[in-house]
Amino acid sequence: MEGTKAADLRNVLVIGASTGYGLATRIAAGWGLGCRTLGVFLEKPPARRRTASAGYYNSVALHAAASRDGMWARSVNGDAFSDGVKDAVCRIVAGDMGGQVDLVVYSVAAPKRSNPRTGTVHTSSLKPIGQSYSGKTIDLGRSSVTNATVPPARQTEINDTVAVMGGQDWRWWIEALLARGLLAAGARTVSYSYEGPELTWPIYKHGTIGAAKRHLRATADQLNRMLADRVGGGAWISVNKAVVTQASSAIPVVPLYVSLLFRVMKSIGLHESCIDQANRLFAGHLCRPGGPRVDSRRMIRLDDLEMREEVQAAVSESWPRVDTESLNDLTDFAGFRRDFNQLFGFDVPGVDYSKPVETQLTVPAVR
């Protein structure tokens, strides 16, 4: 693929756009590059006295800011795995969005998936493969360091996790857009992933999630060939830095590792937020003349700062020493907990939580 410039990115589709890396990507594309963005997410709207989900309010705020700043933004609130949502998105791209998209970012993080072609509901599992795993983690409710033991996954659990978190749905999205002629010349696609250090591999890289990530990488290679042949484009995996998400917080080892990592990276000025990472993805890779910089497996490595030798050495040095008593001294658990609370709209600086607030808000979503 020829060199990519910021001017080549006009229309961006973000699948999984209401929180975390997906939301950050939409903000970076819209406000950083002036792109028109179409976001897909599954969030609960408010209903009578029940508040909406946090991601729903994120999207309300994004649309309000886009309207204020004169930017084009549309959203589809629905199950990204379904054929109906794919059809709705294709109609918007063909109509209101001008006919084609230049970039598709796949950032879906869901615990389960209903396969529209088989009717099967798959539920992912966070388990090791082959043998049980025991290791340190943080009990978030008690703010204590505990030992977690996780039994090995059954084959059905491995298969289900691959079905939810692998590359099949990403491929179906690209195929749907290609079939309707909705990908522009040179169109590219990126799916987000994570690998982590060897410390986390028994439960992550070598576990059910790792099996899904291997399927995702194989899909990236298939899509890369497909897009190169059809539109002169390409497909990549972006391996991102560890951040606090609702899903990752439930994985044993990860909360403690991330708390240690944050302390180290902040102390030497290397810490990045989701927005920082999204900006770096565009500036250093997607808008780079010659295309993205990749490793030997053709992966974009936005986790390069996290995986620096001095960073991982500092984390490894503290790991055996950390316990409940030393948690706040050796880690940035306070920062981890603050980031976790902010996922749900709490612990945000400048907000007076004692004041009443309007909750019956609407995302101008299109279906």
Report how far residue 340's alpha carbon sits from residue 245's, in angstroms, rounded to the nearest whole number.
7
DSSP string across 236-301: EEEEPPP---TTGGGSTTHHHHHHHHHHHHHHTT----HHHHHHHHIIIIITSTT-----TTSEEE
Note whether 272 and 305 are within 8 A (CB).
yes
Report how far residue 366's alpha carbon sits from residue 85's, in angstroms, rounded to the nearest whole number.
10
Helix axis angle, 168-179 relative to 208-231, nearest 10°?
20
Token pair for 11: 């229309």
Q: Please report, for residues 135, 142, 147, 267, the alpha-carbon distance to residue 328 in angstroms, rounded to integers and kept in the order given.
A: 19, 13, 18, 15
Q: Please report, for residues 155, 279, 303, the alpha-carbon distance to residue 308 in angstroms, rounded to integers and kept in the order given.
A: 35, 20, 9
* Centroid of chain to Cα 290: 25
**Residue 225: which H helix or E strand, with range?**
helix 208-231
Report how far residue 17's alpha carbon sits from residue 41's, in angstroms, rounded to the nearest whole number.
6
Residues whose CB is less than 8 angstroms from the CB of residue 170 and which lie 6 or more positions away in sequence, other chains included: 106, 189, 191, 216, 219, 223
The size of the chain, in residues, is: 367
Please pick, among 57, 106, 204, 257, the residue that the annotation labels catalytic: 204
**Residue 146: which H helix or E strand, with range?**
strand 144-150
Choose among 84, 90, 110: nearest CA to 175: 90
DSSP, res 32 = I
DSSP, res 188 = E
204 in active site: yes
Choose among 23, 1, 134, 8: nearest CA to 75: 23
Q: Could you give the count of Cα atoms lying within 13 Å of 121 in the half-sphere of its Cβ?
A: 3
Active site residues: 204
